[in-house]
Structure 1
């Protein structure tokens, strides 16, 4: 594999769109970037978007210009827009293409509902904010819903809006940033404020 291809396959893509929930992906993207996974933003177009917190984000590329072969992971944050029509449906379609190609996808909060509507949670264990939130989509995967902070199944990570650290933990594990006691220490430090975990991470 060429250096350029190798770098491309380490790049993580963060979907950005209006009303994006700012708090849900920061732990994941910051620690990915610190450990050799460049993070690029992808929008429906390259027009600027505005997050729920009022931040203006200029996407690095448009969704039509991104293929599974160009990415290590597609992250889909929550957003009010997921529940306000079909405007973000192209991102759910992209998630299907990624998963079919063996490239992982991570969805949190409202993005899980978007994937449920697209049928992507029907045959995978998953979680979300609460079970009845996904049930309202009319999907067929209710039997695979898990009461957990975050779930990984066959390349798809899901989490609810109150679990950004657990969401990041699953992403960091999937991409091999941390494993074993280092992964556990990272989670204890950022989720539980366990100061003893810092020394374990310092040895990483």
Structure 2
């Protein structure tokens, strides 16, 4: 895929993140797992409360997210976890076009406003997009567009909290921490597999 990391680059970043987790010094309370996807490897981290992180390995703030998570809940180590097992299956079904929503407990780390934005994002059905203005109106504060955009960009659970479904007011793609080429792929994929009554609402030029 154009703009995707080379296999060597991907392996190097994955090794660096794995080494970071392997060097954990805090008591272990969270489990991590690498998940292979058509868009590249993703790191998933979960604990007793649910899924905390699902990020592509080249996400610029992944290390920061891991640090925040460790401060909140304790150490991270690679190992089994029932949430991660369920996630692997549901994510595979999503990429196969057989799943349009997810049924997993989510526990992203963030403040009250961030959580309100992330909850609103989860209300955007597959095959539907909205603008930051739309999201602000849904939250009842049109003046919060900038804060909504910041919270959208800070989302630590890709795909399941669908921040990729937020686009520019003019219908153009805007910034996405997982890279714009992935955002375009995800929206095109969801347009193909969304129920007819929702898929028809997606009005992005160049998709299909």
TM-score by length of 2: 0.29
TM-score, normalisation: structure 1: 0.30
**Structure having greater relative contact order (Cα 8 Å, sep ≥ 6):** 2
